[in-house]
């Protein structure tokens, strides 16, 4: 963990921290580094995780943003020791394959969730299949999402979805403002499940698909499954590991 690559968001708090850390520690390229140290907020952390997937390097974030759920507290002293004692959490992203109304196809990865949303004032009508079996013939809604444990405390929680502890290998299927069936609140699925959303009446009721922050419009069909061939390595201080944070979220009133 001696070779560090610092990556900072383009905001004053992160840039000021970067200048200070560069005066204290040697910096290396992302390819040469043992570890990537990210300075910013949760959104920037997600961007860095996406762009560093192919490197396979551990990523240690320090919060220079707002919430900082995926990051450690910021500190300038003792960084090398913190990196050596940090605990590693492995996350597996979701792979989304989507096709639009003209047959064009798209492929994207999501660390938090894959979501579909109505594009107009008309509610979306979506058929939901799990492992090749139709489980919901027609969901009338503003949208629906499939969230990972790491993403279960983000948008999924805001949509009244369940919080998923790490290590459970479970995914949350959560509706967004479901109109019919009115009482459906979603489902818990095994991590190995393959989920398909088929958009009904897409010409009149167009739908977009979003993998984290990448959006595709006028989608007709979405296929989602966990990508086991890509392992994201996040580092956390022992007293602030991600599993403990997710557990704590369940007891916040």
Residues that are catalytic: 42
> Which neighbouring-strand residues pair with 134?
129
Contact 128, 197 (CB under 8 A): yes
Give me the torsion for CA of 8, 12, 18, 23, rounded to 10°. 170
Q: Which residue has the tokens 């609140």?
A: 185
Euclidean distance between CA atoms 130 and 136, whole angstroms = 9
Burial class from Cβ neighbours inside 10 Å (0-12, 13-18, 19+) for residue 218 reads middle
Query: By three-state DSSP, how is residue 166 classified?
Result: coil
How many of the other CB atoms lie within 10 Å of CB of 140? Answer: 18
Closest CA to 131 of 223, 248, 31: 223
């Amino acid at each position: 963990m001696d070779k560090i690559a610092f990556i900072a968001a383009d905001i004053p708090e992160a840039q000021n921290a970067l200048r200070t850390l560069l005066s204290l520690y040697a910096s290396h390229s992302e390819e040469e580094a043992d570890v990537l140290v990210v300075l910013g907020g949760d959104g920037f952390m997600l961007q860095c995780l996406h762009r560093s997937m192919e490197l396979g390097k551990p990523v240690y974030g320090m919060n220079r943003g707002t919430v900082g759920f995926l990051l450690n507290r910021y500190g300038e002293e003792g960084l090398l020791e913190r990196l050596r004692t940090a605990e590693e959490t492995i996350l597996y992203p979701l792979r989304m394959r989507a096709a639009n109304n003209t047959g064009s196809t798209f492929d994207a990865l999501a660390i938090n969730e894959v979501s579909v949303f109505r594009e107009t004032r008309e509610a979306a009508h979506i058929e939901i299949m799990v492992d090749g079996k139709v489980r919901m013939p027609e969901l009338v809604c503003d949208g629906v999402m499939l969230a990972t444990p790491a993403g279960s405390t983000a948008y999924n929680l805001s949509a009244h979805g369940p919080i998923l502890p790490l290590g459970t290998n479970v995914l949350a299927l959560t509706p967004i403002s479901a109109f019919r069936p009115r009482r459906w609140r979603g489902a818990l699925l095994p991590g190995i499940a393959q989920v398909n959303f088929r958009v009904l009446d897409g010409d009149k009721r167009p739908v977009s698909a979003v993998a984290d922050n990448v959006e595709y419009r006028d989608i007709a069909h979405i296929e989602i499954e966990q990508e086991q061939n890509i392992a994201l390595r996040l580092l956390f201080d022992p007293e602030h590991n991600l599993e403990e944070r997710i557990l704590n979220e369940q007891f916040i009133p």
